[in-house]
Structure 1
């Protein structure tokens, strides 16, 4: 993995808003509303969108609106500000327009430049096109007397050429002929990617493109950038949005595009460790969360039954039936259960391993135990997991995400303390340091 050259290790939310709304007395009203978001409704990265979200006839006014809104609200906005400008790998005139937009937005006379963290470049192509975008930003920094390399560059991966270009980044970054070290986010753009690939589905829905998300996450890891998934258009499908984020996190992609403040709040919260731990039970076709009754974890549904027999137990899960003794039942239930640790649990494990390491131990066993209550029958289960340094480092990822959020989003401190308690937050910010 290349060394990251930006402060943030994680970005949970990439929130776009139109820069100019046609037919309104105040065309900047969407910008002004976004600029005043705070707490869990405020994104890690706010993207005043002067490309797809803004009509072509309004983009000149949109660039001016960005300057006014950011000059007024940028100092107090809790996240980073990365406007999206126009660009296209096959259209020199569009690239020139993007350059002009960036020059306008960062003109020191407008008062916004000091609050602009970078630019989002859409529709990039092969690696030479990425270099053109980088060179344009370098030109903007020179023309407006800004620090060279101070503006980051994020790209929207929405073409096959851009997807392949991610494989060239490790070789190209760091060469004296470019400033590609400024790269920050690699963001999937599945809609235009689908168009570029000439892909079709029977219903007209977008393909799932899990390969694109995997490749973007891999490319970001190799180049020291951060991967962000594209927009989830069905803004009412909260459960689908959560499922998408869960699948993404398993690929190392912890951030997602957000289209509404409601999606921002969901995406800001989803990657954080839960407040309380929970046990899951695999029922074959699905997993269910067991109810914590205090003294036992309880399943009270119709997809599993457990009956005591003269020789042991008869277990039915869906269409599967098993006759087992107590030890065999315990093993079967161990295979069917999993535990989701809370932030407090995760910190406990980290602290326990750190203490063991300090005492000279290279590996220790971590025990997880529970009493299951199924159809009124109680069974104790227990499992041991060996922790070594590699396990510890892998388990640090959710803790590091929490620490990154706590460091860069002080506006969320009060909500985090309310969620977890002050003691847990203090321990979580200290562990591993």
Structure 2
């Protein structure tokens, strides 16, 4: 039996888990509801969760529900489907139970496996434990006549041993004694990681674990895999969720766990290039977004004050500090305080300009951004120059590469992308050489 799956995705924005069985007349209702999600509400990776999200007494029924719902709705679901089964690095009986769950879900006669892209393995330990899981995948593929390597394996990093194993991946993947090339996503599980590390905080809240997120992102980059952050359980704190995702993206970790369809929307849209450009002003150590008004970019706050004095001098009050500056000094000071966030249209323009310069034989060009800053009614013209070379071009291309990856693999989001950016910008982004 040949595989129809493709593992060409460079990005996964959303990792959305659903209980496989819940109490009630229809125990599969959560799965059925998730299978109907479309557009920005549908995740890149849907995880029917037969581990933590499902009570142990319901897991047998959960396997049956996965088979039933995925068989019926999997073909129309726009994202990838990766059920999470049970596993534990220290418990052979749990590992065997997980093997049996995968064996039943992957049975071609049950009708679900043709829509299942892989499985998520929780609670892994050292690299030998990863190899045990991989061996079960190989056995399942052989047992059911599936193409070897057709089922991807994603793991949840929930222990110190698993974190250390991230450093072994480059050496181990590709060895003839394993099929670890099937690895796809590396997902952080901060809750169980905290337990495994015996960590404590005064409030009982989870530590931030920036080191874990960095190590997972680095391990994914080194091995050509995809890094995904763990769950953000304060589901009403949209601002906090955004801040977490922005911090992750600075580490190269684009994906994040989503617990609700609302979080899926936020996580799907968050990494996409901005619709419009923004100017930010550093005031008192915090970045404030300037208001786009007729005549320029205006600061509307009390932490920064500007007053025009006699003979071309100005008084600038910044967080209680007062500076008397001439016009050029004022301009230089404000240039140091501002930063520019380009829109997708602007990124595409800059990249197209650099591509044209390369064709003309130029290796570097200067890009200029200008604006009129308005502080206390006083207008100040500023401009910033940034040199673009090949490295700058490649770095700037990451948001466009993400956009193109989404466009290729999520046709159900095409209309929303066109509405967000406009058809012309979408086409120009697709025409770039990134």
TM-score, normalization by structure 2: 0.98
User: 2-side partners of 1:179 and 1:417: how far apart?
Assistant: 40
User: 2-side partners of 1:168 and 1:249: how far apart?
Assistant: 24
1:66 matched to 2:66: yes
User: 1-side partners of 2:341 and 2:330: how far apart?
Assistant: 22
Which residue does 1:186 correspond to in 2? 186
Which residue does 1:95 correspond to in 2? 95
Which residue does 2:38 correspond to in 1? 38
User: 2-side partners of 1:285 and 1:356: how far apart?
Assistant: 37
Alignment of 1:295-314 (within 5 A): 295-311=295-311, 312-314=313-315
What SS is found at the alignment partner of 2:252?
Answer: coil
Which residue does 1:349 correspond to in 2? 350
Which residue does 1:157 correspond to in 2? 157
Alignment of 1:30-429 (within 5 A): 30-311=30-311, 312-429=313-430
What SS is found at the alignment partner of 2:89?
Answer: coil
Q: Is the 8 A contact 1:369 1:382 kept in 2?
A: yes
User: 1-side partners of 2:387 and 2:67: how far apart?
Assistant: 55
Q: Is the 8 A contact 2:284 2:303 kept in 1?
A: no
User: 1-side partners of 2:178 and 2:225: how far apart?
Assistant: 16
Q: Is the 8 A contact 2:19 2:49 kept in 1?
A: yes
Which residue does 2:21 correspond to in 1? 20
Q: Is the 8 A contact 2:122 2:157 kept in 1?
A: yes
What SS is found at the alignment partner of 2:9?
Answer: coil
Once the two structures are superposed, residues 356-413 of structure 1 have per-residue CA deviations (whole angstroms, 9 ceiling, x without a partner) of 0011100000011101011111101011111010110111000000000000000000
Shift in Å at residue 6 of structure 1? 2.7
User: 2-side partners of 1:7 and 1:68: how far apart?
Assistant: 27
What SS is found at the alignment partner of 1:307?
Answer: strand
Q: Is the 8 A contact 1:228 1:256 kept in 2?
A: yes
User: 1-side partners of 2:126 and 2:423: how far apart?
Assistant: 48
Shift in Å at residue 33 of structure 1? 0.2
What CA RMSD, in Å, does the superposition of the two structures yield over aligned residues? Answer: 0.8
TM-score, normalization by structure 1: 0.98
List gaps (5 residues or longer) in structure 1: none
Shift in Å at residue 285 of structure 1? 3.1
Shift in Å at residue 323 of structure 1? 1.1
Shift in Å at residue 227 of structure 1? 0.3
What SS is found at the alignment partner of 1:253?
Answer: coil
Shift in Å at residue 294 of structure 1? 3.5
User: 2-side partners of 1:246 and 1:349: how far apart?
Assistant: 23
User: 2-side partners of 1:316 and 1:184: how far apart?
Assistant: 52
User: 2-side partners of 1:95 and 1:40: how far apart?
Assistant: 35
Once the two structures are superposed, residues 102-140 of structure 1 have per-residue CA deviations (whole angstroms, 9 ceiling, x without a partner) of 001011111001000000000000000000011111111
Which residue does 2:3 correspond to in 1? none
User: 2-side partners of 1:321 and 1:137: how far apart?
Assistant: 67
Q: Is the 8 A contact 2:83 2:118 kept in 1?
A: yes
User: 1-side partners of 2:262 and 2:247: how far apart?
Assistant: 20
What SS is found at the alignment partner of 1:349?
Answer: helix
User: 1-side partners of 2:297 and 2:117: how far apart?
Assistant: 48
Shift in Å at residue 320 of structure 1? 1.9
User: 1-side partners of 2:179 and 2:330: how far apart?
Assistant: 60
Shift in Å at residue 317 of structure 1? 1.3
Q: Is the 8 A contact 1:350 1:432 kept in 2?
A: no
Shift in Å at residue 321 of structure 1? 1.6
Q: Is the 8 A contact 2:122 2:156 kept in 1?
A: yes
Give the count of matched residue pairs.
428
Shift in Å at residue 310 of structure 1? 2.0
Shift in Å at residue 144 of structure 1? 1.1
